[in-house]
Structures are given as C-alpha cells and as structure tokens.
Chain A
Amino acid sequence: MSQASIQVGTSPQVQYLLRIGDSCLILAQRLGEWCGHAPILEEDLALANMALDLLGQARALLTHAAHLDGQGHDEDQLAFLREERQYLNPVLMELPRGDFAFTQVRNFAVATWLLLLWRRLQSSTDPELAAIAAKAVKESAYHQQHAADWLVRLGDGTEESASRTSAALALCWPLFNELFDADAVDAAAVASGLGPSWAELRPEWTAHLNEVLTDAGLAHPKPSAYVSAGRRGVHSEHMGHLLAELQYLQRAYPGGKW
C-alpha cells in the first residue's frame, strides 16, 4: 500500500460530524457484507437498501466535514485514506456482521440512536447539517421499525431464535454506553447549537428499547460500566481489518478515479 494517509483537524465541529458520519459509513460497510447472504431474498434487498441509505448519510456528512475541515479533502479521501485512529465511530458499528439476530439488535440500537439524533439535528444552527438531518430522519425511522419488527419476531419466535437474540443483546450491551457518553466535543456542539449532547438521547433511546424488549419477551442484560472509546479513535481489533478491505484499492492505486 503506497498511498499516504491523511489527518483530519481536531476542531470539535469536525469531530462531531465525523463521529456520526463514520458511524453511518462503518455500519453501511457491515450491512453490505450481508449482500446475497440474508435469510430470504426480500430481506437481502431490505438490508442492502438500508446500507445504501446509511452510505448516503455518510457521504453527506463526510463531504460537509471535509469542507469544514478546510484542507481540501473530499468524501473519498476521508473514507479511504484515514487510518483507524482517525476514524471516530463508536465500537458498536464496527463489530463483525455476526448472525441475523445480532444484525437486527445492532440495527435497532443504531437506527433508534440515529433517529433521535437526526430529529434534534434538524434544528442545528448549521443549515447544511439541518438539511442532511431532515432527509435522513425518515430513513432512520424506517430502519428502526424494520429492526423492531424483526426483534419481536425473533425474540417471540422459536427457542433458538430467542436465545440467539438474547446472546446478541448481551454482546452489544456494554457497547451501548458509548452512544451516550458526553465529552468536550459534545459540550462544544451544545454551546454552538450545532447539535445535542449524545447523553441527552439516552432516556428516550432506553424507552424505545424497553418497549421492543417487552414485546419480544426478552430480558435486559446486566448493566455494564464499560465505556468503549471508538469515537476518540480507540477501536476494537476488528476495525483495522475492516479498513484494510474497504481501503485496499485506493491505497494500491493512489489517486485513481472511479
């Protein structure tokens, strides 16, 4: 690999946008891995559609972040030439594809989180971000409903499907904390009116989750104090492999047009 990596600026505004944009991009990559492998043809199309929605959201946010960063980068350079430490998505998004139950648990958690985020971002003081949010909010609402229906089906399905869904929930549970952990970047976003503090989303997100878990007959895993730090660039062992696959071509053929 011969293409040099790029660094993005450390302004809280750019970081705030990249955290969300990278979340969409990395989950889109994981959902893309389902293509041709879903349990039924129709769900195969549904997962691909959702991946495409998320990729569209990622493109808009990365383009905007690159513009604000002011170093002349574009969406492709941000996606293909940043190293792991420069990626700011929470760890939850980068976990391997897993089984179908895992995918629906994660999709529900992320779609609900994004839905609550987009709703608030519609009134961002940044008009570009507000416009992106207004478009994305409908997509996330659909993703949430789709995943919620599957969680109820799986949790209230067979013994096997219920146990797999419980296992997926237990695996994701400690990583949910990061979605609501506020820090200086959030504080700056609140102060400038760019967007909400992530911590603000937790009560509503939890209410959505509880409703679905009740319908699905699934129990809450034990609370966890662990907070992952993907949005500060500290990722799991899965992230490097994901990026190697995602970035291979741009790295091997620097500046290639496509």
Chain B
Amino acid sequence: MSSENEWPLWEVFVRSKAGLDHKHCGSLHAADAKMAVQMAREVYTRRQEGTSIWVVLSNQIVASDPGEKGMYFDPMEDKVYRHPTFYELPDAINHM
C-alpha cells in the first residue's frame, strides 16, 4: 500500500454501548490520529451510538516478552490466597 512513514499502524480500542471497558478490536492504517478515529468508526463500530473509540500508534505500545511468560505469570497459579475469591459480595455490587 503506502510507505510506513505515511500511513502508520494504529491499534483500535472500542467501548460498546453497554460495555464497561475499551477492548482491543484490531488495527488499521491512517495518516494521523484524527483520521484513525474516523476510520476506526468506519471499520470497527458500524456506528453504534454511545460507542467510545481509542486509537494509539502501534509503536507506542510496549508488550511483555513471551519468552519471560513463565517468570511473569506462572508463580500466581498455585497460591489461592493471592486471589480475593473468598469474600461474599452483596447482591447490589455488579461487575466485580
């Protein structure tokens, strides 16, 4: 298509009408942030009203190293006391 300088890659996060958080839903090419928001709306939201869109340049995202997955995440697995799963929540509390 075009050179990377002209059409950088953007990651798109969308919060749907009833959604609580922005979810990563894909990526696209756009010349700048304003265009990226418009294009994200065309490509990913199909114009549902009440939707919120975030776009961020892909090269601004720093990811954890898959090679260090074991060191990063495995130690949590077998220690149930690390998880606050033994509390009884009142019915009025949603989304915990």
Contacts and interface: CB of A to CB of B under 8 A. Distances in A.
Interface of A: 40-43, 45-46, 49, 146, 149, 153
A42 B10 CA distance: 12
B38 interface: yes
Contacts, number: 27
Contacts of B31: 153
Contacts of B30: 42
Contact residues of A: prevailing secondary structure: helix
Contact of A149 (B2, B7, B35, B47): B35
B29 interface: yes
Contacts of A49: 42, 47
B34 A42 contact: no
Chain B interface size, as a band, is: 10 to 19
SS of B interface (majority): mixed
B42 A46 contact: yes
B6 to A, nearest CB: 10
B76 interface: no
Contacts of B2: 40
Contacts of A153: 31
Nearest to B49: A138
Nearest to B1: A40
Contacts of A149: 34-35, 38
Which of A41, A42, A45, A153 has most B Cβ within 10 Å?
A: A42
B56 interface: no
B39 interface: yes
Interface string B1-23: 11000010000000000000000
19 contacts: A40-B1, A40-B2, A40-B7, A41-B1, A41-B28, A42-B28, A42-B29, A42-B39, A42-B42, A42-B43, A45-B39, A45-B42, A45-B43, A46-B38, A49-B47, A149-B34, A149-B35, A149-B38, A153-B31
A160 B28 CA distance: 26
Nearest to B39: A42
- Which of B7, B30, B35, B42 neighbours the largest number of chain A CB atoms within 10 Å of its CB? B42
Interface in B25-61: 28-31, 34-35, 38-39, 42-43, 47
Contacts of B34: 149
